[in-house]
Chains A and B, each alone.
Chain A
Amino acid sequence: MTVPLDSIRLLRQRLEEILTEQLPENGRQWLFSRVDRSSTSALLMAFVAAPRFTGKQPVSLSAERRQELAELRPGFRLLAWPLDRVTRLYLLLQLPLENREAFIQAVETLFDTAEMNELVALYASLPVLPYPEAWLFRATEAVRSNMGLVFEALALGNPYPSEQFPEPAWNQLVMKTIFNDKSVGSIVGLVERSNPSLARILVDFAHERWAAGRYVPARAWQMVVPFVNESMLPDLQRLFTSDRAVDRQAAALLCNETNFEPARALGRQFPIEHAEQLRWENVDTQLA
Chain B
Amino acid sequence: MKFFDPHVHMTSRTTDDYQAMADAGIVALIEPAFWLGQPRTGVASFKDYFSSLVGWERFRSSQFGIKHYCTIGLNSREANNEALAEQVMEVLPLFIYKEGVVGVGEIGFDDQTPAEEKYYRLQLELAKEANLPVQIHTPHRDKKQGTERSMAIALEHGLDPGMVIIDHNNEETVKSVLDQGFWAAFTIYPFTKMGNERMVEVVRQYGPERIMVNSAADWGISDPLAVPKTAALMKMKGISDEAIRLVTYQNALDAFGKSGQIFEEEFGGEIDQSQKFNGNTILRGGQQPRIDKDSLFIN
Residues of A in contact with B (beta carbons under 8 Å apart): 44-45, 48-49, 51-52, 112-119, 146-149, 151-152, 179-182, 212, 214, 286
Contacts and interface: CB of A to CB of B under 8 A. Distances in A.
Interface of B is mostly: loop
Q: Secondary structure of the A side of the interface?
A: helix
Given A113-B47, A114-B51, A181 B56 contact: no
B46 to A, nearest CB: 10
Interface of B: 47, 50-51, 54-56, 58-59, 91, 93-95, 97-100, 260-261, 276-282, 285-286
B95 A113 contact: yes
Given A48-B94, A113-B47, A114-B51, A148 B278 contact: yes
19 contacts: A51-B99, A52-B260, A113-B50, A113-B95, A118-B98, A146-B279, A147-B56, A147-B281, A148-B279, A148-B281, A149-B277, A152-B279, A179-B285, A180-B279, A180-B285, A181-B280, A182-B276, A182-B279, A286-B276
A146 B281 CA distance: 5
Given A113-B50, A115-B51, A214-B286, A151 B99 contact: no
Contact of B55 (A51, A116, A181): A116
Given A48-B98, A113-B50, A115-B98, A180 B280 contact: yes
| B99, B282, B285 — most chain A CB neighbours (10 Å) | B99
A115 B62 CA distance: 14
Nearest to B285: A179
Contacts of A286: 276
A148 B55 CA distance: 12
Contacts of B280: 148, 180-181
Contact of B93 (A45, A112, A146): A45
Contact of A149 (B51, B260, B279): B279
Contact of B94 (A44, A148, A152): A44
Contact of A113 (B59, B91, B100, B261): B91
Contacts of A49: 97
Given A45-B94, A48-B98, A113 B278 contact: no
Contacts of B97: 45, 48-49, 52
A115 B58 contact: yes
Given A52-B261, A146-B56, A212-B286, 13 more contacts: A45-B94, A113-B94, A115-B54, A116-B58, A119-B55, A146-B279, A147-B59, A147-B279, A148-B278, A149-B279, A151-B279, A180-B281, A214-B286
Nearest to A209: B286
Nearest to A180: B279
A150 to B, nearest CB: 8
B51 A113 contact: yes
A151 B280 CA distance: 11
Given A114-B51, A115-B58, A115-B99, A181 B276 contact: yes
A219 to B, nearest CB: 14
Nearest to B54: A115
Nearest to A152: B279
Among all A-B residue pairs, the 5 with the closest Cβ atoms: A148-B279, A115-B54, A146-B281, A49-B97, A115-B55
A222 B56 CA distance: 34
Contacts of B55: 114-116, 119, 147
A152 B47 CA distance: 25
A44 B91 CA distance: 11
Contacts of B286: 212, 214
A117 B279 CA distance: 14
A112 B50 CA distance: 11
A149 B94 CA distance: 22
A180 B276 CA distance: 8
A152 B93 CA distance: 28
A286 B277 CA distance: 11
A97 B278 CA distance: 33
Contacts of A180: 279-281, 285
